[in-house]
A and B are shown apart, each in its own frame.
Chain A
């Protein structure tokens, strides 16, 4: 399967809100409420930020929120902070036991 589609880059100023989209198909995002989002700083392992479309793990700031509509999932970060600058990846269950990642989005905090 082809990777989920994410914008290559997004940017925002401190305090602003940004949204990263993740577009799939009816075979993955459109069929399951199993979308997750990961933050990855350079040279580090990814970190879970959102699971099951909109749930936040313990310890993740409530500035991070997730949603889904049809075949597209979204990650919104409000009150942008310098430490939010990182790469973000979406992932969806794709059926038959498999998972599918997006290509990743580089977030720049101006």
Chain B
């Protein structure tokens, strides 16, 4: 069965960096699109970033563009989110999610979710 397990969350000071990891299993990671979605405490969901199924394209929400980088290591079946220049408003639970049920394309919906990793940006 599909499993997504995030790690790397914690407390970090404003302006510093943090890298989240998402270990994937139960599906073919190398041909699956992957997303990061976040949820600030008591707030709604916000899409953060996507890496296309073949790794060729990456897109970001305007709120994180230029500061966050999505990447993957196929040999480790792991998705990453490098977060630089962190701000208080980046405080949230970060979920990794597998893109739809498509093969060799991007479906733009989130079929499977991890349990989330909490990132708190505070001095």
Interface residues of A (CB under 8 A from B): 1, 3, 32, 34, 36, 38, 40, 45-48, 51-52, 57, 87, 89, 91, 93, 96-104
Assuming the contacts A97-B57, A98-B59, A99-B50, asked whether A48 and B44 have C-beta atoms less than 8 A apart, the reply is: no
Q: 9 additional contacts, CB 8 Å, given A38-B110, A45-B113, A45-B115? A: A36-B108, A40-B45, A45-B116, A46-B37, A51-B100, A52-B109, A89-B44, A91-B47, A98-B50
Of the candidates B47, B59, B115, the one whose C-beta lies within 8 Å of that of A101 is B47
Interface residues on B, range: 20 to 34
Which of B45, B95, B111 has the most chain A CB within a 10 Å cutoff? B45
Would you list 22 pairs from A and B whose C-beta atoms are within 8 A, ordered by A residue?
A: A1-B62, A3-B44, A38-B110, A45-B95, A45-B114, A46-B95, A48-B111, A48-B112, A51-B107, A51-B109, A87-B44, A89-B44, A91-B109, A91-B110, A93-B108, A97-B50, A97-B59, A98-B50, A99-B47, A99-B50, A101-B44, A104-B44
Within the assembled complex, what's the spacing in Å between the Cα atoms of A87 and B44? 9
B73 beta carbon closer than 8 Å to chain A:
no
In the complex, the answer to whether B111 meets A57 with C-beta atoms within 8 Å is: yes
Shortest beta-carbon distance from B53 to chain A in Å:
12
B61 beta carbon closer than 8 Å to chain A:
yes
Q: Which residues of B contact A102 (CB under 8 A)?
A: 44
B82-123 CB contacts (< 8 Å) to partner A: 95, 100, 106-116
Of the candidates B52, B62, B110, the one whose C-beta lies within 8 Å of that of A46 is B110
Identity of the chain B residue whose Cβ is nearest the Cβ of A87 in the assembled complex: B44
Shortest beta-carbon distance from B119 to chain A in Å:
16
Within the assembled complex, what's the spacing in Å between the Cα atoms of A44 and B95? 11
B54 beta carbon closer than 8 Å to chain A:
no
Within the assembled complex, what's the spacing in Å between the Cα atoms of A91 and B46? 10
B21-37 CB contacts (< 8 Å) to partner A: 35, 37
Q: Which residues of B contact A46 (CB under 8 A)?
A: 37, 45, 95, 110, 113
